[in-house]
Copies of this chain bind each other. A is one copy, B any other.
Amino acid sequence: MRKGVTIWEPSNVYDSAILGEGVSVGAFAEIGPNVKIGDRTRVGKGCFIPEGVTVQEDCFIAPHVCFTNDLYPPSGKENWKPTLVKKGASIGANATIICGVTIGEHAFVAAGAVVTKDVPDGEMCMGVPALVKGERKHA
């Protein structure tokens, strides 16, 4: 059962994905098997969130954000790494998240960034590869 979840069609949300209360998912998005999305998190148009990714509550995942789960694809799970996005984090449009990282609480990833390392709580990062640039200044 998914309580108060809004999914725009067409999108592909696997049955085993667990979506919290008040989650929204944009059109053309795919959320893979066993993914967990916390309460009130919003997933934008066209995002890709594969198995191995966990997004906590109150996050904002902008359109076209692309997560991964395999460091050296295709490895048949040998090199799969889990990815965690902690509560209140915001990930900008078209960012790419290399698997195995943790994006901290209320951290901010700028649009178009390629995240290859952990982002500390409350910090913001940008660029390719993404570099931490200091405190997140907004909300």
Contacts and interface: CB of A to CB of B under 8 A. Distances in A.
Interface of A: 8, 10, 12, 26-28, 30, 42, 44-46, 48, 50, 60, 62-64, 66-68, 71-75, 79, 90, 92-94, 96, 98, 108, 111-112, 114, 127-129, 137-139
Indicate how many identical chains form the complex.
3
A42 to B, nearest CB: 7
Contacts of A46: 28, 30, 46, 48
B72 A137 contact: yes
The 4 A-B pairs of least Cβ separation, nearest first, read A112-B114, A72-B138, A96-B112, A66-B94
Contacts of A137: 72
A72 B127 CA distance: 16
Nearest to A124: B72
A73 B111 CA distance: 10
B114 A114 contact: no
Given A12-B27, A26-B30, 4 more contacts: A12-B28, A79-B138, A98-B111, A111-B114
Q: Among the interface residues A26, A42, A68, A98, which one has the most CB atoms of the partner chain B within 10 A?
A: A68
B68 A92 contact: yes
22 contacts: A8-B12, A12-B27, A12-B28, A30-B45, A42-B74, A45-B48, A48-B64, A60-B73, A60-B74, A63-B68, A64-B66, A64-B96, A66-B94, A68-B111, A74-B90, A75-B139, A79-B138, A93-B96, A94-B94, A94-B96, A111-B114, A112-B114
